[in-house]
Amino acid sequence: MLIVAGGIVFFSLWYTHKLAREIARQEVKKVEELANAYQTLNTATENADLAAALETIKKNTEIPVIWAAETGEIYGMKNFDTTSTFQKNALHKTITKLKNDKQYVEIAFDADVKQYLYYKDSLLLQKLRLYPFYLLGLISFFVLVSFIAFSSSKKAEQNRVWVGMAKETAHQLGTPLSSLAAWMDILKDKYNTEEDISLINDMEKDIARLELVAERFSKIGSSPDLQETNISEVVSKIVHYISKRASKNVEFSITDQTEGQGMALINPALFEWVLENLLKNALDAIEGKGKISVTIQEKANETLIDIADTGKGIPKNKFNTVFEPGYSTKKRGWGLGLSLTKRIMEDYHHGKIMVKASELGKGTTFRIILYR
C-alpha cells in the first residue's frame, strides 16, 4: 500500500508540476499581451487601437495585475481583492514582493520613468499548485485507515487462532481426563493399602491439576467471571505450589504490604495462570539457583504485584518484545507464555503487565497492575 500510495503521489506531483508550468507560461504570455495593451493606452493615436487595448484588458478576469511606475506610483490594478489590498501600503508591499519574485513585465514606453505590469498567479494556478498537497493528505489518510483496518483484521485473526487453539486443547484434554477419573475410582476399589492410597491421592492431585489446566484453556475467548478475591491468598497459594517443585537452591519470599487484606476483581483460575507463568520464567532466568521475591502493595485505586528474580536479566530494547508471540530465550517451547500472560491481564482483567526493571546479570522485575 505504501509503494502504491508513494507512486500515486509521485506521479501526481510530477504531472501537476508539469501542468502548472504550462499554465504559468500561458499566463506570462497573457501578461505580455496586457503589457502591450497598457502601452497602447499611453501611446494610442487612433480610437480603434484604444478600443482593442481596452478590450484586451477587459478580457483579463483571472490574472491579478498592478500597473505601476518604477518610482512606485500606481496607475491601476485589476483582479485584486480591494477590500484587503486597496490600502496604499499593502499594495506597495505586494509590488515589492512581486518585484523580488521577478513577476513583472516592463511596459515599453518612451518616457523618463519606466513602467511595469506586476502580476500574481491566477486563483486557478494557485489551487493547482496546492492540489498535490491535498492529494497527499487524502492518500495519507487512506493509508492510515487501511493500516488500522489491516491491523485490526490481523489482530482479530490472531485472536481467533488463540481462541481456537485454546478451545481445542481444552476439548482434547477433556476426554482422557474423564477416563482417568473413572480409572481412579477402579484403582481405589482394588488397591486400599495405606501405601496405595497415598499414591492414588498423589495421582488424583495431578489429575485435578490437569483439570485446572483444561479449565483455563476453556475460558480463553469467553467472558470470564471476575470475583472480588483476596490477592494475598492467591499469591501465597501459587508461590507455595511453584516452590515445592523448584530446586532447593532457590529462595522464595513474599512481602505483603497489605497485611493479607489486599482485594482485587479477578478470575482466580486465569490469574493463577499469570502468576505461574511469571514464576516459571523467573525460575528459568535464575537457572536453578537464586532468589525470587514477590511484593504485594496497594496504591490509590491499584493493586501492584512485583515479581523479581536474581537471574540473567533482559536487555532494555527487549522490554516490549518479550510479550510478543514466539519470543523465547529457551531452546524448547513456543514462546507463548508471556504473550498469553499479557493477553489474560489486558483482555480479561483490564489490567497491565510490564517489565518494571531489569539489568543484565542482576535480574528482572515484572509488575502486574490490577485496577480496582
- Residue-level pLDDT, tens digit, the chain, 372 residues: 778 877 887 888 888 888 888 988 898 898 888 888 888 877 767 777 788 888 888 888 888 888 888 877 888 888 876 555 455 567 778 888 888 888 888 887 766 778 888 888 888 888 888 888 888 888 888 888 888 888 888 877 877 777 777 777 877 888 788 888 888 888 888 888 888 888 888 888 888 888 888 877 777 766 778 889 999 999 999 999 899 888 899 999 999 999 888 899 998 888 998 999 999 999 999 988 999 999 999 988 899 999 999 999 999 888 888 887 766 666 554 446 788 889 889 988 999 999 999 999 999 999 999 987
Q: Which of 78, 102, 121 is the last residue of a domain?
A: 121
Give pLDDT, residue 298: 92
Q: Which of 197, 219, 241 is the last residue of a domain?
A: 219
Q: How many CB atoms lie within 10 A of CB 170?
A: 18
Question: 138 lies in a domain?
Answer: no
68 bridge partner residues: 74, 116
293 bridge partner residues: 253, 308
Instruction: Give the HSE-up count for residue 233: Cα atoms under 13 Å, Cβ half-sphere.
Output: 8
Cell match 505504501: residue?
2
Question: 214 lies in a domain?
Answer: yes
Give pLDDT, residue 89: 67
Contact 211, 177 (CB under 8 A): yes
- For helices 2-43 and 123-190, what crossing angle results, to 10°? 170
Q: Which of 121, 142, 167 is the last residue of a domain?
A: 121
Residues 353 and 257 in one domain: yes
Residues 322 and 364 in one domain: yes
Question: 126 lies in a domain?
Answer: no
Residues 248 and 362 in one domain: yes
Query: What stretch of H or E contains 369?
Result: strand 363-371
Residues 213 and 232 in one domain: no
Residues 198 and 276 in one domain: no
Q: How far apart are CA 369 and CA 352, in angstroms?
A: 5
Amino acid code (one letter) for 247 = S
Residues 345 and 251 in one domain: yes
Residue 123 grid cell? 486563483
Residues 183 and 308 in one domain: no
Give pLDDT, residue 333: 47
Q: What's the pTM?
A: 0.54
Residues 239 and 365 in one domain: yes
Residues 179 and 285 in one domain: no
Helix (H, G, I), strand (E, B) or coil at 299: strand
Residues 42 and 86 in one domain: yes
Domain that holds residue 360: 227-371
Question: 273 lies in a domain?
Answer: yes
Q: How many CB atoms lie within 10 A of CB 82?
A: 10
Q: Give the CATH number of the domain where residue 258 resides.
A: 3.30.565.10
Question: 146 lies in a domain?
Answer: no
